[in-house]
Structure 1
Amino acid sequence: MSTDEFDLSEPELTADDLLVLDDERFTDGDVAVVTGAASGIGRATAVALAANGLTVVGADVDEGGLDGTVDLAADVGAAGEVLPVPTDLTDDGDVAAMVDAAAERGDLRYVANVAGMQHIASLPEFPMEKYDQLLDVMLRAPFLTAKLAMPHIRATDDGVGAIGNMSSVHGRYATQDKAAYITAKHGLNGLTRAIAAEGEGTLRGFSVSVGYVLTPLMVNQIEDTAAERGISEREVVEDVMLGQARSTEMITPAEVANLFVFGFSSHASHLNGGDMLHDGGYSTTYE
């Protein structure tokens, strides 16, 4: 059964989808790093932050995808600039160069660790090379990025900034066949709290947790989950992904990006070490 029957194409992002706030630290002299910026949530977050006037270093291994993000920011009339910085998050030198590129463009204040990947397999059959790759991208790289970015944030005139981590409902509980992803997201929540503990109140750490997001990664996951569980793709969407949720639609990348915009803003000054859960009731309700 084709996923096309469910209209699972990623929605087109427009200027009307984006939360734009009046914030004194949202200027082109203030810089944000966004990883995974070539597609999905990362692309939407880079564009949303640029729409708020920030200079955004968009990092990803997919150079063509980064070019598409730059074009999208222009299409929505973003006031800020997206600077594409090709980055392999499994390469420490690349991560350091990414942070340096951001610091050279102005006051590095914000980091959105969004880059992610998925592999569907039971624990006994999970390939360790996939486990290592997934943890390198989704946990080690955010740790290293925070390590390198925190001194720059502290060096701004007031030391104000934030590091936001893309967590998940799977950072709160577990489902089958996603052991590495679940391990990474639980670890990412711990990193978020560690950042908050060391941030002295002005450098904040927070995470964003959502349910199933309509991205290219998710469409691939639907196909893999159907094959792994021996059910149809329709059953994956309606029963596995949305079965527990009170909402009946997947969240969009723009909606997730707007959470990062709010989290970085002065309106979220008391969001520190906490997690913004927007999962449609998936992990908090049941029948």
Structure 2
Amino acid sequence: MLKKLFLFLLGIIMLSCKTSKNQSIIEENTKPILISDEFKFTEGPAADAEGNVYFTDQPNNRILEWSAETGEISVYMENAGRANGLYFDNEGRLIAAADEKSELWQINIDKKVKVLVDNYQNKRLNGPNDLWVDAKGGIYFTDPYYQRGYWKRQNPDIDKQRVYYLTPDKREVKIVADDLVQPNGIIGSKENAVLYIADIGAGMTYSYRLSKNGNLTDKKLFTEMGSDGMTMDEEGNVYLTGKGVTVFNKKGEKMAHIPVDRNWTSNVTFGGENFDQLFITASDAVYILQMDVKGNN
């Protein structure tokens, strides 16, 4: 009887430890560490296969690279099309939301640029902002309208601010969401076929199911918070940005808030050699935070 009671209690303790471990996402006694604040406005972090993180300094029109091995930052590309959001495709090429001319770029390994999209039905896009690549190589991208000082135009050619899908063969661009106020951040899970889109204009974030043809179905309110940029970890938790970084579990329940010492946190991703470092872009700075979970970039 005592043996059975001991095993029962041991099982409860082990279950409790497991639950605690799963809910722990931030390494104990850590906070974001400032890496550099030598920029004007940072955005769009994306990690390559080695964990190096590329990010944009949009006002300075350049893409920079943070080395996972050395921690040093170097200039990857000048004259970067005023790139905003970045993401690596399934072949390791960097895809950029280049809103100088409202284009979606593919930057090849040799740094040659190929324009993938620059219009929808012969109308100039508003300004591609953020993107995510699915398992088939199709690209979802948000297209809000933010009037830029470097534009000659003063009004959009397309009235609605939408989310588009560029098919894997790169031949078709189709609307997948046109009922949002101002879509901005976007992130998905290839394994679970789910996509999250932040409607920063409405202060909401929604989840969708991915169809085989790239269409979005089963729209659900995920949380009553918008976001500039987004990422996910291996547990399926979703990270939203704005005033620091706020983390939600799969159910849309708030798990944690990570304060960042800047007025605005624009974006976030996982990088580093083990993909367990949260790379944060915030106004004129970039930060690193050691995590207890790995990314699902």
Query: TM (normalized to structure 1)?
Result: 0.30
Structure of larger gyration radius: 2
Structure 1 or 2: more helix by fraction? 1
Does 1 or 2 have the higher relative contact order (CA < 8 Å, sep 6+)? 1
Query: TM (normalized to structure 2)?
Result: 0.30
